[in-house]
Amino acid sequence: MPAAFDVVSRFYHAAQAGDGAAILDVLHPEFEAHIAPGMPCGAGGAFHGPREALTRVWGAVFAEYDTAPYAEGWHETTDGMVVVTGHYRGASRGTGREYEAEFVHLWRVTDGLISWLHQYTDTLRWHEALR
């Protein structure tokens, strides 16, 4: 398993544990996230810096959902990008409705830390769980 896979894998374990400190530990100081624009909770869009991403993406999502991403497929491109496919699984905290949403995550690792994420997901599934 390439070293970049190890770093990205640590992110998934931290997200599954709901461990914000462990998420921050794997993010580069110049971390940049591009999250699917249709995400609920104001979590869609571009975010800069580990703290902004933790607060406005994962914190916002974890406040509304008991959820986590589960990686299923791992690929590395010729230029070192890590491509992970899988599903988010969980439930809305407000409605109790369960959901599963497919995702593709594109990751870049710089100096042993995650420096960039581009997330694609089925945002409709997220919204259906809230209704």
Kindly report the pTM of this predicted structure.
0.95
pLDDT of residue 62: 95
The structural domain count of the chain equals 1
Provide the residue range defining the domain that includes 100: 3-130
pLDDT(23) > 90:
yes
User: Which of 112, 121, 113 lies closest to 70 in space, CA to CA?
Assistant: 121
Residues 58-75: b if buried by 16+ CB within 10 A, e if exposed = bebbbebbebbbbbeebe
User: Which of 25, 30, 2 lies closest to 15 in space, CA to CA?
Assistant: 25
- Domain CATH code at residue 19: 3.10.450.50
pLDDT digits (tens, 9 = 90+) for 73-128: 999 999 999 999 999 999 999 999 999 999 999 999 999 999 999 999 999 999 99
pLDDT digits (tens, 9 = 90+) for 53-87: 999 999 999 999 999 999 999 999 999 999 999 99
- Which residues make beta-bridge pairs with 121? 103
